[in-house]
Amino acid sequence: MFGQPKGKQKNRRRRRVRPENLTRFVAQRVAGSRADRLCFGDAVHRRIGRNGCISHYFRPGQLFAVVWWRRYSHDRQHRTFAVLESLPAGKRGRFLPGIHPGVAVHVLVRQHGPAGQDEAVDRLLDLIEELNCRGRNPAEMPTAFWTEAVQQLLLCDESLESCDVESLACRA
């Protein structure tokens, strides 16, 4: 009697996507030796497993970023940062650790050595933090922004800090 007509209620419901059409990233952590985590992304669903793993699910076309961290003997460390795009069902992509099915890879940056050394991955994580502080959602930035940022970072003498994030976003 006091509710909305049934037709309007149907329009307000989210359209469900079948689970097999979603891209899944499983973030895992093994104390002292490995950590895989989501850096940004607007997951449509998140599930926490009994073993502490967190599964993030993305619709086709969504951007998300992941960092993989590994610690090896003799205190060697390796981190890899990637900006990825989930693909529609039937499209083939690259297979990466903890991600199923394959995805489109827009950025892939590696760093050897510990965090905090102002290397490439550190600086990209700082850029994500700066975007968040400015009220910009990194997952909504165009893929060209991320490739431009990495080119700026890896190929230019100018650091990302001296580059205006807004002008970088406008160029993309």
Task: Note whether residue 119 is domain-resident.
Answer: yes
Task: Note whether residue 4 is domain-resident.
Answer: no
* Structure-block tokens of residue 124: 């990209």
**Domain span at 108:** 19-171
Phi, then psi, of 40 in degrees rounded to 5: -155, 160
Task: Note whether residue 130 is domain-resident.
Answer: yes
Give the model confidence (pLDDT) of 104-152 as tens digits.
999 999 998 766 677 889 889 999 999 999 999 999 999 999 999 999 8
Number of folded domains in the chain? 1
Find out whether 150 and 168 touch, Cβ atoms under 8 Å.
no
Query: Three-class SS of residue 64?
Result: strand
Task: Note whether residue 8 is domain-resident.
Answer: no
Angle of helix 143-155 relative to helix 120-133, nearest 10 degrees, comes to 140
Task: Note whether residue 71 is domain-resident.
Answer: yes
Give the model confidence (pLDDT) of 60-95 as tens digits.
999 999 999 988 877 778 999 999 999 998 899 999
Helix (H) / strand (E) containing 27: strand 23-27
d(CA 123, CA 166): 17
Per the model's pLDDT, the better-predicted residue between 52 and 67 turns out to be 67
d(CA 10, CA 53): 34
d(CA 132, CA 151): 21
Checking if the pLDDT of 5 tops 50, the result is no
Checking if the pLDDT of 162 tops 60, the result is no
Q: What is the pLDDT of residue 3?
A: 43
Task: Note whether residue 47 is domain-resident.
Answer: yes
Q: Kindly report whether the global pTM for this prediction surpasses the value 0.85.
A: no
| β strands within 28-152, DSSP E | 29-30, 34-41, 45-48, 54-58, 63-71, 77-86, 99-100, 103-112
Task: Note whether residue 55 is domain-resident.
Answer: yes
Number of Cβ within 10 Å of residue 160's Cβ equals: 19
**Is there a cis peptide before residue 60, judged by omega within 30 degrees of 0?**
no
Give the model confidence (pLDDT) of 10-38 as tens digits.
444 555 656 678 999 999 988 888 899 99
Task: Note whether residue 1 is domain-resident.
Answer: no
Checking if the pLDDT of 40 tops 90, the result is yes
pLDDT band for position 172 (cuts 50, 70, 90): low
